[in-house]
Amino acid sequence: MNQTKTISNLSEFDMAEYLTSEEEIAEYIRQVLEDGDAGELAAALGHIAKARGMSEIAKASGIKREALYKALRPSAQPRFETIQRVCNALGVKITATTAH
């Protein structure tokens, strides 16, 4: 029997479900940084924080959970200090290389 799928029957994609290892997280951040979009970086960190547990990341970063959700949404433009604190809480480091 041929079943047709409609958009309303599809489950919502959740990137956090696919960030299960340190290598996957590092590759995800690398690709987002390569694109150079600050909003995408904030959203990516939000996906990673969700995968790790937003409450735990909020506590470890010293940023209130509600403020963290706000700072890590796709349209956000968080300060570098916020990005740095979240990265430290996530146990990730952003590094630079020469541009080709």
Average confidence score pLDDT of the chain: 88
Render pLDDT for 14-63 as a digit per residue (tens, 0 to 9).
Answer: 888 888 888 888 889 889 998 888 889 999 999 999 999 999 999 999 99
Where do the structural domains in the chain lie, given as residue ranges? 21-90
Contacts of 71 (CB under 8 A, 6+ apart): 42, 63, 78, 82, 86
User: CA 44 to CA 36: how far, in whole Å?
Assistant: 12
